[in-house]
Amino acid sequence: MSEKNHNVSRRQFLTYTLMGVGGFMGSAMIMPMVRFAVDPILRAEAASDMYELTEVENLTDEPQSFPLSFEQDDGWVTQQVEETVWAYLDGEDVVALSPVCTHLGCTVSFGGDESNPDQFFCPCHFGRFEQDGTNVPGTPPTEPLHRYEHEVRDGIVYVGRPQSQQ
Amino acid sequence: MLQRIYDWIDDRIDITPIWRDIADHEVPEHVNPGHHFSAFVYCFGGLTFFTVVIQILSGMFLTMYYVPDIVNAHASVEYLQSEVAFGMIVRGMHHWGASVVIVMMFLHTLRVFFTGSYKKPREINWVVGVLIFFVILGLGFTGYLLPWDMKAYFATQVGLEIAISVPVIGDLLGELLAGGEIIGAQTLTRFFAIHVFFLPGALLGLIAVHFIMIRRQGISGPL
Ligand code: HEM
Ligand code: FES
């Protein structure tokens, strides 16, 4: 390149190199902190264990609530937590529903509304679900109640985590 | 695009003079290592500030996981260091940075001393510098307890004994610092509050005063 034919001025050259090197050093400093902060969303989901809920013979064809107690890992804390599971028999099949309303998360109960004794009812905004968890059209919830993964071994029902039905 | 956004803002609130004031500020020859390499000693003030910035940033991120509670403090530090991605690096930055700040600050103080820069009219800035020195020592002392391990506990015990040895008010001072008669739950929360709110606030205020005075008085002349 000839002396007269500079496309990049000295000032531009310095701006680019200094910004480049400075940016590189700055990101080397910031990057570990950002990765550290976003770690929770990049964590692989832990495979869920199965916990004993109740014996199959306790189930009827009408939903009943059962307490589910299990160990939950939460960062540096491991604690025993309690949940409620609504379970019933659909012929031979076990159905285990979560009482967390799919509208905004209040707690539903079966027969909670006297005028709809065979539905789940949410007191917060009067959401309703059929016995199998299907949301009743025209009430606020937009998807069915979540169902627990489950298995039956030696007459005992084990459940995992509730799964969305959509 | 960026230029147009900049111009739009500059048109309205005239921000150019703010950064021009800093960017066009001339670095005198006797403090520019490009002219005399030995002038690198003038960099230690800036390096102290740089490490303080790293301490504040890494410390802010650490508080996302750290809890100042005697049951969980140590477990939370262990978790953030060994389970969270880059935890070892972020904690390492804060851990080693705490020593680097003190080294840089000490070298900066030596430079100011041996160039006689503390003399009239800069006496007030020397005093502010000494306050910054104590605030940073305080950050080191209070931060050291936070991991709540043996080293932390006994270092704090020694530090508190030193405070207690002050004549007359020593006992009261010790109890006030510890938040009670033992080094326990209340000491930890107290040290945490001092470490992440009180002292960093004081430090930023003092550093601002320090820099404003430097800009008013200019850097001291060559030897
Ligand atoms: C000049 C400023 C600072 C100095 C000299 C300093 C010093 C220290 C020291 C010596 C420790 C113990 C580290 C270890 O033993 O590994 C520590 C821990 C800690 N500091 Fe700071 N610190 C500063 C600023 C800050 C700020 C601004 C924050 C928060 C906003 C902060 C938050 C923490 C936390 C959460 C811990 C406990 C976690 C751990 O031990 O790794 N620090 N600090
Ligand atoms: S939360 Fe259940 S209806 Fe709104």
Tens digits of residue pLDDT in A83-94: 999 999 999 899
* pLDDT band, residue A49 (cuts 50/70/90): confident
Among the partner residues A36, A39, A76, nearest to B72 by beta-carbon distance: A76
Return the SS3 of A104: coil
**Of B184, B186, B190, B196, residue with least CA distance to B157:** B184
| A122 CB within 6 A, ligand 2 | yes
**Predicted local confidence at residue A2, as pLDDT:** 52
pLDDT at A47 over 90: no
Rounded Cα distance between B17 and B24, Å, is 10
At A104, list the tokens. 């905004």
The torsion defined by the Cα of B167, B171, B176 and B178, in degrees rounded to 10, comes to 120
**Predicted local confidence at residue B23, as pLDDT:** 86
Helix, strand, coil share of chain B (percent; to 5)? 75, 0, 25
Tell which of A31, A36, A41, A43 to mutate to test the B interface (max B CBs under 10 Å).
A36
Domain co-membership, A136 together with A64: yes
* pLDDT band, residue A45 (cuts 50/70/90): confident
pLDDT at A108 over 70: yes
CATH, residue A99: 2.102.10.10
Tell which of B89, B95, B96, B100 to mutate to test the A interface (max A CBs under 10 Å).
B89
| B87 CB within 6 A, ligand 1 | no
**Predicted local confidence at residue B27, as pLDDT:** 86
CA of A97 to the centre of ligand 2 (A): 16
Give the number of the atom of ligand 1 that is nearest the alpha carbon of residue B152.
15
Among the partner residues A29, A35, A37, nearest to B64 by beta-carbon distance: A37
List chain B residues with CB under 8 Å of A32.
86, 89-90, 93
Strands of the sheet containing A127-129, edge to edge, are A109-110, A120-122, A127-129
B65, B80 contact by CB (below 8 A): yes
Does B76 sit within 8 Å of A33, measured CB to CB? Answer: no
pLDDT at A96 over 90: yes
B176, B166 contact by CB (below 8 A): no
Domain co-membership, A150 together with A95: yes
Single-letter amino acid, residue B44: F
**Predicted local confidence at residue A12, as pLDDT:** 92
Domain co-membership, A26 together with A76: no
Single-letter amino acid, residue B69: D
List chain A residues with CB under 8 Å of B76.
75-76
Total domain count, chain A: 2
Domain co-membership, A53 together with A121: yes
Q: In 10 A of CB A83, how many CB atoms? A: 18
Domain co-membership, A137 together with A118: yes
Domain co-membership, A69 together with A121: yes
A58, A152 contact by CB (below 8 A): no
Is residue B9 within 8 angstroms of chain A, CB to CB? no
> Closest residue of B to A29, CA-based?
B54
Domain co-membership, A110 together with A126: yes
At A1, list the tokens. 């390149």
Residue B66 backbone dihedrals phi, psi, to 5 degrees = -75, 140
**Predicted local confidence at residue A5, as pLDDT:** 67
Among the partner residues B76, B85, B89, nearest to A39 by beta-carbon distance: B85
Instruction: Using a pLDDT cut of 90, give the percent of chain A over it.
Output: 86
Domain co-membership, A15 together with A73: no
E strands, chain A, in order: 51-55, 64-74, 77-90, 93-97, 109-110, 120-122, 127-129, 147-153, 156-163
List chain B residues with CB under 8 Å of A19.
none
Give yes or no for a cis peptide into A137 (omega within 30° of 0): no
Half-sphere exposure of B161 (CA within 13 A, CB side): 6
| B62 CB within 6 A, ligand 1 | yes
Return the SS3 of B96: helix
At B177, list the tokens. 């610092």
Domain co-membership, A152 together with A79: yes
Instruction: Name the pairing type of β-strands A156-163 and A147-153.
Output: antiparallel
Domain co-membership, A60 together with A125: yes
Q: Is A98 left (phi over 0), alpha (psi -120 to 50) or beta?
A: beta
Lowest mean pLDDT of A4-13, A126-135, B31-40, name the range: A4-13
Kindly state the DSSP code that residue A45 receives in the 8-state scheme: P
ipTM: 0.87
* Pairs of CB atoms within 8 A across A/B: 40
| B67 CB within 6 A, ligand 1 | no
Residue ranges making up the domain that contains A17: 3-42
| B101 CB within 6 A, ligand 1 | yes
Return the SS3 of B187: helix
* pLDDT band, residue A34 (cuts 50/70/90): very high
Half-sphere exposure of B169 (CA within 13 A, CB side): 3
Domain co-membership, A28 together with A58: no
Give the distance from residue A33's alpha carbon to the nearest chain B alpha carbon, in angstroms: 6
Give average pLDDT by consecutive 10-residue segment, chain B, 223 residues.
Answer: 96 95 89 93 97 98 98 97 97 98 98 96 97 98 97 96 96 95 96 98 98 94 88
Domain co-membership, A32 together with A55: no
pLDDT averaged over every residue in chain A = 93
Rounded Cα distance between B89 and A92, Å, is 55
Q: Which residues pair with A73 in a beta bridge?
A: A78
List chain B residues with CB under 8 Å of A42.
85
Rounded Cα distance between A99 and A67, Å, is 12
Ligand of minimum distance to the alpha carbon of A145: 2
Rounded Cα distance between B48 and B101, Å, is 6
